[in-house]
Amino acid sequence: MDNKNTLNKFEFFDVTADVGFRAYGHDINDAFASAALAMFEVMTDTFQVKHTVKREILVESEDEMALLYDWLSELLFLHDYEDLVFSKFAVSIKQKDPETFHLSAEVWGEKFNPAIHEIRDEVKAVTFHLMEINREENRCSLQVIVDT
């Protein structure tokens, strides 16, 4: 897969029978946006995806890893049921209390069109297998494996 113009927002790594990626950002919001971009890059060339459709997404989960799983799963649901692909993401994550994390996002993309969009791998599901969230000063990295 070619991720030449992604400005080091993500990278892929080898996983038997699945696709793994590490996504990066200045903070957790940026890293979640990069993870979404990486997941859609598995499916198509995201540089060909125009921003003609906007969706708002709200997700609540018990911890950050569940939030990451639920966030990517919600995007996959929109892809599967509305045939949408996305390439721009604005994410805001807040911790409401010790056991509630809230994500609100705006995402932009368009209907998948095989005449325009390259057909790559079908992402069937997001997994918790080897999922990681790592924070360092001025940087956050996520590791995700998707079932293809």
List, for residues 48-99, the tens digit of each pLDDT value.
999 999 999 999 999 999 999 999 999 999 999 999 999 999 999 999 898 9
pLDDT(17) > 80 = no
What does pLDDT average to over the chain?
93
**Residue 19 pLDDT > 50, yes or no?**
yes
Q: What is the mean pLDDT of residues 99-124?
A: 97
- Which has the closest alpha carbon to 32: 64, 63, 54? 64
Q: Measured at the alpha carbon of residue 3, what is the angle toward residues 140 and 53, in degrees to the nearest 5?
A: 85
Neighbours of 50 (CB within 10 A): 14
Which residue type is seen at 113?
N
Predicted TM-score (pTM) of this structure: 0.92
Cα gap 137→8, rounded to integer Å: 17
What is the pLDDT confidence band of residue 3, given thresholds at 50, 70 and 90? very low
Average pLDDT over residues 11-22: 87
CB count in 10 Å sphere of residue 62: 12
Q: How far, in Å, are 47, 69, 79, 112, 147 from residue 91 at the CA level?
A: 19, 14, 18, 22, 24
Residue 16 confidence (pLDDT): 77
Q: For residue 7, what pLDDT is reported?
A: 54
Q: What integer pLDDT is reported at residue 14 of this predicted model?
A: 80
